[in-house]
Structure 1
Amino acid sequence: MTLPASQLISMQEGKTLEFKRDISSPKNIIKTLVAFANTAGGRLLIGVEDDSREVRGVENPLDEEERLCSLIADNIAPRLVPNVELISVENKTLLIVEVYPSGQRPHWVRKEGPDEGVYVRLGSTNRKADRELIAELKRTVTGISFDEQVLVDRTVDDLDFDAAKVCFERHRKLVEKDLVSMRLVAEDQGHLVPTVGGMLLFGKDREMIFPDAWIQCGRFVGKDKADILDHIDIHEHLPVAVERVMEFLKKHAMRGADFSELRRRDVWSIPLTILREAVINAVVHSDYSQRGAPIRVAFFDDRIEIENPGILLPGLTIEDMLQGASKIRNHVIARVFRELDLIEQWGSGVRRMFKEAEILGLPQPEIIEIGMRVRFIVYLEESIGVSTESHVGKEENARWSGEQVTEHVTEHVTEHVTEHVTEHVTEHVTEQVTSLVICLEDKSLGRREAMQYIGISSRPTFVYDYLQPAIQAGLVEMTQPDSPKSPTQKYRLTPKGRNFLTKEVAKHDQ
């Protein structure tokens, strides 16, 4: 065990921890061990009251250990071999069962059978797995993702190659052999056929096969779903759908203007960079085998929730994600999104979102599993009311008043970096420059890549409000300073930029 039993007792029951007074209810114990093995592993402490955490100990510990091992052997299939220990705590003996994520999943309760007896762990509860989830558990063992499977009754003509070329036109010219290398199509009995991922991304009639592979967006009045102001159902190809979601969020955000410089600078009331990353994460990690479960984006006055179907993959916990661990549910979709520079290195997205929220002074986002879905919650700095007029998307309604802008700029936007930057400029950089520094944390990016990461489409805005101030501040530099207009030009952090980022993170840790 990585943690001593005394420390485990002080923790709350959850995805990987459960307490039992004794083994008088073996059926529940068996379900818990099956769920642990099928999900992220876990530890069961027997001899502890699950409500009060009072250490009661077990009577006749050696006999109870033997009985428990027999119960496990007789009631779980395939065979499960957990680590069972007797531990002394407060002069009493506890029985501790440690289960690791199994490479033979799915396990099931033998009496219930392989179709009805498979359980997974959701929070502190055990949930019976349905047919789609059982298939998902099997796939995670084989290493073949759902979107890598071939659709033998379809042909290459079922893919919208023109739409794919449009998505890639900013990056490179897409040719038909790229469909094979990116696993959009695969060979089956001598013929090329679409994969599930190919149809999800660029299928001409995607919703005939996957009727729930779309995104539902809603703007609600207040802090619950009692009153909806506006909604949109997005059925476009997945790479394009990401942009449509961002357009919807911007439509209902407030956009202020900072006129403290000669140029106007937009100040959005929502953290676009974090939200874009969260939407992309939901698209890449959704379980598209589930029925009746589209991706949902809910915009409330005080928060924005992005929710996708599918529990966390076996062996992965929310705590693991916060440390940078990542498992890819959809290999094909992830590959294409990376080719499009929509995602970066595996596992960096969640950490980057939390770090940016910290630097911007926002409440920390939250990741929770709710039923068979994962919800990412982005809390806003200030509550945003909605207009009662019908055209809420008009700039006249969405823009802050001059007084609001002045107050926001005074309280929340640091001084804009100008060409007269001093060595102390890192104390007064804008949110835009900070966003650029964050996205260059561990890589060099070209202009288009950086713009996509930040979530803006205007080149002048990027150059004048992000890039030039960052370079003038000495935080960012060109990789090819002698060829500033080179088509392969990229940008990276300077030592000063890395020092600035380190100080910003440390400052918000205090």
Structure 2
Amino acid sequence: MSETNRIEYKRELSEGLEKEVVAFLNYREGGIIYIGINKEGKTVGVKDADGDQLKIKDRLKNNIRPSALGLFDIVSEEREGLEILKIIVASGSEKPYHLKKYGMSEKGCFIRLGSAAEPMLQKMIDELFASRTRNSIGIIKAHRQDLGFEQLQIYYQERQKPLNKQFRKNLELTTTNGDLNYAAYLLADENNVSVKVAKYKGETRVDLVESNEYGYCSLVKASKSVLDKMNLENRTIIKITAKERKEHRLWNAIALREAVINAFVHNDYTREIAPKFEIFRDRLEITSAGSLPDGLSKNEFFEGYSIPRNKELMRVYKDLDLVEQLGSGIPRILEYYDKTCFNFSDNFLRMVLPSAEAVYSDTPQVTPQVTPQVTPQVTPQVQELLNAFTGEHSRTELQNELSLLDRENFRINYLVPAIENGFVELTIPDKPKSSKQKYRLTQEGKKARQE
């Protein structure tokens, strides 16, 4: 494959890398730079992939303005038995991007034209600067400056990425004046952002049967809580035929996760509206504020071109492995659902995921002769936990088995009720906080699982 308007090859890490990245940041579709492939498209590989990744991150962080953090991703790949580096660059929302050394001049600003990075004319630079997005969560000063970030620090610590004293600056949680910005407010331990998950009995919003609120905490914690709630609602449907046993879930788990995270990361929080999740009898609706970013068409959206609306959030979510790589979310969803599931308006984007079967059934699922599977004191969460046991397990093993991300949610809604009801016991009861602590089913727990 030869170079194109969105693909650039480099035999090795060279001095001109920042120039190519700036050109893609200023280009409406972004682009990809491969290190370890020559101009003829032949794979030559890189000698020190890990070392080159660190150098690239450091150079792009320090040599480009406005900050490109959250707008690029570096992936190590193997091609023809050789290791290469793939730098995915999104189109930025704060154009014109430029080389810090030369400022906003024709010598510092570049744009992709064909398969080359060309200098911008001063007129284009001036026009882009005049129209630069001012309404950004990174620019807006938080109305509260007494913010704590204990939850965020815990999540980074769990990923073996402890935050240092400069994390507010490093994660771009401050304005140019040094004040905490709106991104910091969203990620803080306390805020006024409320994320609602509603459940309706029918196909309209008339008969509300359940309303949950996840919020007033770090947006990361709210995201994990919603993911756990959706995982619980996404029940497995089992059909047993004469030949085989078939299992499927109401919604594809991969697409559902991507849709939830996409709603959180790309929501327009400057309108002070949080994403909303609604479960109907026949579908799931996920609504986020803000339509397509300026300069991005529907076709480009579906093809995975990325203009992150909130690059500060994107950076944090990528650090915490909630986002895999730039531009991968929508293509993943489209592997399982049609483009018609996306509805665009001037102010909102709504994803509608049809359920494989009715979320609620009008007819009883068991006959009167069948003993109910769950006793009155066993909640669906506890039942899931009981089914996960195969012996003695640590808390982390159980949480991973249930695909639960939020530790507090697991403790409050799963583990503690199971212990209090006598279904689960500690292997070291006299030292409940022991690092070697494990859990196992009691006889009552085994009985409840069998029933």
TM-score (norm 2): 0.49
Structure showing greater radius of gyration is: 1
- Structure number with greater CO (CA < 8 Å, separation at least 6) is 2
TM-score (norm 1): 0.43
Q: Where is the helix percentage greater, Structure 1 or Structure 2?
A: 1
